[in-house]
Structure 1
Amino acid sequence: MNRKTLVLPALVGLLAPALAACGGAGDGGGDDAIAVGTTDVFSTSPEVPAPFDPAFAYDAGSWNILRQTFQTLMASPRGDGEPEPDAAQKCGFTDTGNERYECTLRKGLKFADGKPLTATDVKFSIERVRDMKIKDSTGSSSLMANVDAIETRGDRGIVFHLKSADATFPYKLATPVAGVVSSEHYEKKKLRPGFDIDGSGPYTAKQEVKGNTLVKTVFSKNPNYKGAYKLKSDKIELRDYASTEAMGKALKDGDIDMMTRTMSPEQIKQLDENPGNNIDLVETPGLEIRYLGFNTEATTVKSKAVRQAMAQVVDRGALAAGVYGDAAEPLYSLVPATVVGHTNSFFNKYGNPSTAKARNLLQKADISTPVKLTLHYTTDHYGPGTKKEFQVLQKQLNASGLFDVSIKGEGWTTFRPAEQKGAYDVYGMGWFPDFPDPDSFVSPFLNTDNFLNSPYANPTIIDELIPNSRREADRLSASKSIQRIQDIVAEDVPFIPLWQGKQYIAARDDITGVEWALNSASSLQLWELGRGVSD
């Protein structure tokens, strides 16, 4: 049967964390491994020595490996909503100010190697990340930077004392950064190099590596796992492909059962219109965003007027439709449209694209035109549509006569360190949220020690609005602060939001649970996959 399945979106960020408890995992399926394709590339290098160490990994691809293998105190639920206990039996704030968070671990927790997992291991793991004694530049440690002190109470009790109120802390404890590691396998002050993984999550992992690049990961059911997830299959193979074409051919030929990140726009369109025998295309709501970032200290874009003029010229609708078709929608804020607190700040300020308005902005600031710029992008991290996207941006900006834009692509291992060092005046990036809450689209970009190493720092945002938003346990009540942040960003333009993406999975129709295999934050939940009867 050929069909397209649409998984309807849910409004995210509404539910507040609370004390909760949940049951254990059930039995998995048989030994027939389900093969899943991906174009994510995992390689080790001096810049990326430890792609699967929770203290280093901070990208969607690596996190999708870690989510299957490392256990966290809290976990993302099947659908979007507040986190639920995983390694914990229960967790919750025990003060009125959201500054003290307490958890009780499940009884009898063990690592995959059979060693007991206790509160001491949790303390070790979080402090290992928080203390930033491991010199990394990924930004992952920022998620635990607000932890002031951790105390254990016996083998199962643990208390987090926060430096300031943070109602989003349970969400952060559900990210792989908070993955529980053992001091027998992970050193306190040193990253664990390579691809080896030792955790207590639903699966163990065995990797096939060629040179310094991962080729395949085999996930096998962890018999010692006690947590929130019920495994539908005992074995999953995640296979890495060099291109979307190779991955698509593997699905068509029956070599894999499912493919996901990252499918090309052309592939999605073809599968939607003519998927082939026994292949289904599943569309799910997504929170992926793409944006332009600025080194606001660089001479070419230091003037706010230049950045504003670019925001005034860019035609997001033409960009999204021309490159990604129905798979993307124009975005007018860093906060996606389906997240509570979103406001169309850039549209409210700039309206429809206008060369005349952009020229006026530059003239008032006494900026000579055309402004010469280079837009940098990564060639191998966000999918095959990226180059075309930047060609469209180049054409739009140059057609105004106000800019003289060239574009340049680099591989991710070169691009990412260069961006962090401030080598690029203007650059393109994508973002998959750490968790489905507006804070995850604001703090990583605008707070101190942001993951981009951006020099832009607005005191009102950092000292007032972000702290205010985090005090609100009712996330709807945080909207006022979040909306003010978006308006300030539209005025100062340290970033230009471009588009918000949908997500797609293609799978053979005897694979069950596909609609749950990728949540809105682009987290793979491979334990949801099973084999059924083809209909």
Structure 2
Amino acid sequence: MNRKNLVLPAVVGLLAPVLAACGGSDSGSGGGNAIVVGTTDRFTATKDAPAPLDPAYAYDVGSWNILRQTVQTLMTLPKGDGQPVPEAAESCGFTDTGNERYACKLRDGLKFSNGDAITAADVKFSIERARTIKADTGVFALMSTVDTIETQGDREVIFHLKTADATFPYKLSTPVAGIVNPDDYAKDKLRDGFAVDGSGPYTLKAETDGDEMTRAVFTKNPHYKGTLKVNNDKVEMASFADADTMGKALDKGDIDVMTRSMTPAQVDKLSAPSSTDSKVELVDVAGLGIRYLAFNTEAPEVESKAVRAAMAQVIDRSKLVTEVYGTQAEPLYSLVPASVAGHTNAFYNKYGDPSVAKAKALLQKADISTPVKLTLNYTTDHYGAATKQEFEVLQKQLNDSGLFDVTIKGTAWDAFIPAERKGEYAVYGMGWFPDFPDADNFLAPFLDKDNTLNSPYSNSKIINTLIPESRRETDRASDKSLTTIQDIVADDVPILPLWQGKEFVAARDDITGTAYVLNSASSLQLWELGRGVSE
């Protein structure tokens, strides 16, 4: 989200997990009026998605931004960069040489926000619940390497894994592993609506208008016990229809912080050297969010690999970024961002510079008649106001080649996602903010069993050999399995990566803590915000 010329490290090789106790304070400075944070994320409870904030269902950056404030996890991502550290746990670590047995000891005296004691059985219940429900978002797949969960007494939890998984500590830092109270969450059914009950740094009160949550009110949880220092007593997250309306609210002082998603024009204005607006500060963070086109590989329009490869050969990422996002994004030639250990430029290695002639040859060799008629689907209200312009540029590039006859169609997020999961789109645009900052999390969610896109694409070598092999390797930069996976994706093109972008946060000048309000997975850490006095 947004900028003071601060760039947090984004090169994130997976470090070997350690068994370590970590102390911390559950208190912090605060007081005064609530800090109000603006977002263009929309939160709706619909017939197709009635439980948007259930940890066993939620799997987008907006809902995770709510859950990370309210639901506590065994592990958490530290400030800036680095391996996960214990949070609800006092200590966690692998206890065998094969990285297949992971043990955690809970902090003494943990309580849910209602005062109920938390036990190891609650941790087991919470994670097994997500694995049992198997929501169609695919979030449960983050726990796919878990075989069984054992408890010893009230404070010890032992995870027996099906196979070695060096990324498992990261997975325990995600909201799907959040600890929930069995009194509030049924074992085999999602919890509808916007209520969230956990043991995180805040409690949540949702203000709604019909089926939409318009404001999330976070109040400091008096029972919270963990590593996080909470620097305020209350934060309110207000949802806006568009970035321009959100920007005007910041100018008027109706909100204190502006987060996702700002327009390129807003970022340019706030970052210009000539800007005289001394009351607002822009913070930029080296982001790991990516954008891509996804394919329903069973749809008649794109079931031929030649069609997908021809699109990869025609699309000019550099022009796309320049025309739409400027310096706020850069071309991406793999699902894994360039700043993440294990990245390769697989698509550039395969296709080189854009070439209509090469694309035409691919289609002719496969006996594909041209122009190929396609509809590119995108969401109008989830990835920012520039999304429509981005798809207009993609449409023009493909149509100008003479090989495609492309139309574009925009749909609101609450209707877009159910349609995508039902396989109604042949080609559609999506974004990805990592669950955790490791190459595995830019590959497995799209390519493993129970993938988050519900994609019919399945490559047995990736699923059965390469992903398991990569999870055994702690040196991510030299992991050959990761390289091979990226090469296969470039060859088969089930997904076409487009660009990766920076993240920005704009805040009024009396707000502190903005440097760390986004973690290395681009998720909000509202407890970092304070008012008036810097740390």
For the Cα contact (< 8 Å) 2:10–2:288, is it kept in 1? no
1:529 paired with 2:526, answer no
1:213 paired with 2:212, answer yes
Using the TM superposition, give the Cα deviation of residue 96 of structure 1 relative to its aligned residue in structure 2, in angstroms.
Answer: 1.1
Q: Distance in 1 between matches of 2:511 and 2:361?
A: 57
Q: Distance in 2 between matches of 1:63 and 1:264?
A: 22
Classify 1:513/1:33 alpha carbon distance in 2 versus 1 (closer, same or farther; 3 Å). same
Structural mapping, 1:419-430, within 5 Å: 419-430=420-431
Superimposed CA distance per residue, residues 355-407 of structure 1 (whole angstroms, 9 cap, x where no aligned partner): 11111111122211111111111111111111111100000000011111111
Structural mapping, 1:457-468, within 5 Å: 457-468=458-469
Superimposed CA distance per residue, residues 119-155 of structure 1 (whole angstroms, 9 cap, x where no aligned partner): 0110110110112xx3621111111122111111111
Partner of 2:264: 265
For the Cα contact (< 8 Å) 1:275–1:281, is it kept in 2? no
Q: Distance in 2 between matches of 1:510 and 1:9?
A: 25
Query: Aligned letter for 1:165?
Result: A
Partner of 2:244: 245
Q: Distance in 2 between matches of 1:68 and 1:79?
A: 17
Query: Aligned letter for 2:144?
Result: A
Q: Distance in 1 between matches of 2:362 and 2:140?
A: 39
Partner of 1:157: 156
Partner of 2:75: 74
Q: CA RMSD in A?
A: 1.3
Partner of 2:34: 33
Partner of 1:168: 167
Identity among equivalent positions (%) equals 67
Q: Distance in 1 between matches of 2:276 and 2:144?
A: 46
Q: Distance in 1 between matches of 2:111 and 2:389?
A: 48
Q: Distance in 1 between matches of 2:207 and 2:315?
A: 44
SS of 1:301's partner is coil
Partner of 1:184: 183
Partner of 1:370: 371
Structural mapping, 1:98-247, within 5 Å: 98-131=99-132, 134=133, 136-247=135-246
SS of 1:389's partner is helix
Classify 1:44/1:487 alpha carbon distance in 2 versus 1 (closer, same or farther; 3 Å). same
Structural mapping, 1:420-459, within 5 Å: 420-459=421-460
Superimposed CA distance per residue, residues 454-485 of structure 1 (whole angstroms, 9 cap, x where no aligned partner): 111111111111000011233334x2111111
Query: Aligned letter for 1:272?
Result: S
SS of 1:300's partner is coil
1:281 paired with 2:305, answer no
Query: Aligned letter for 1:530?
Result: G
Partner of 2:16: 16
SS of 1:5's partner is coil
Partner of 1:417: 418
Query: Aligned letter for 1:193?
Result: D
1:302 paired with 2:303, answer yes
Q: Distance in 1 between matches of 2:282 and 2:481?
A: 38
Using the TM superposition, give the Cα deviation of residue 495 of structure 1 relative to its aligned residue in structure 2, in angstroms.
Answer: 1.0
Query: Aligned letter for 1:452?
Result: L
For the Cα contact (< 8 Å) 2:14–2:167, is it kept in 1? no
Classify 1:521/1:225 alpha carbon distance in 2 versus 1 (closer, same or farther; 3 Å). same
Superimposed CA distance per residue, residues 43-79 of structure 1 (whole angstroms, 9 cap, x where no aligned partner): 1111111111111111100000000001000011111
For the Cα contact (< 8 Å) 2:10–2:287, is it kept in 1? no
TM-score by length of 2: 0.97
Superimposed CA distance per residue, residues 61-103 of structure 1 (whole angstroms, 9 cap, x where no aligned partner): 0000000001000011111211100000000011111111100
Query: Aligned letter for 1:261?
Result: R
Q: Distance in 2 between matches of 1:421 and 1:258?
A: 36
Q: Distance in 2 between matches of 1:401 and 1:242?
A: 37
SS of 1:246's partner is helix
Q: Distance in 1 between matches of 2:409 and 2:166?
A: 41
Query: Aligned letter for 1:338?
Result: S
Query: Aligned letter for 1:224?
Result: H
Using the TM superposition, give the Cα deviation of residue 275 of structure 1 relative to its aligned residue in structure 2, in angstroms.
Answer: 6.1
Classify 1:9/1:419 alpha carbon distance in 2 versus 1 (closer, same or farther; 3 Å). same
SS of 2:196's partner is coil
Q: Distance in 2 between matches of 1:309 and 1:56?
A: 36
Query: Aligned letter for 1:7?
Result: V
Q: Distance in 2 between matches of 1:476 and 1:107?
A: 38
TM-score by length of 1: 0.97
Matched positions, count: 529
Using the TM superposition, give the Cα deviation of residue 234 of structure 1 relative to its aligned residue in structure 2, in angstroms.
Answer: 1.4
Q: Distance in 2 between matches of 1:511 and 1:459?
A: 50
Classify 1:93/1:385 alpha carbon distance in 2 versus 1 (closer, same or farther; 3 Å). same
Partner of 2:406: 405
For the Cα contact (< 8 Å) 1:130–1:147, is it kept in 2? no
For the Cα contact (< 8 Å) 1:16–1:475, is it kept in 2? no
Structure 2's unaligned 5+ residue stretches are none
For the Cα contact (< 8 Å) 2:34–2:234, is it kept in 1? yes
SS of 1:334's partner is coil
Q: Distance in 2 between matches of 1:406 and 1:146?
A: 41
1:481 paired with 2:474, answer no
Q: Distance in 1 between matches of 2:466 and 2:134?
A: 29
Q: Distance in 2 between matches of 1:445 and 1:144?
A: 15
Superimposed CA distance per residue, residues 400-448 of structure 1 (whole angstroms, 9 cap, x where no aligned partner): 1111111111111221121122211111111111100001000000011
For the Cα contact (< 8 Å) 1:12–1:340, is it kept in 2? yes
Using the TM superposition, give the Cα deviation of residue 514 of structure 1 relative to its aligned residue in structure 2, in angstroms.
Answer: 0.3
Structure 1's unaligned 5+ residue stretches are none
For the Cα contact (< 8 Å) 2:10–2:520, is it kept in 1? no
For the Cα contact (< 8 Å) 1:5–1:280, is it kept in 2? no
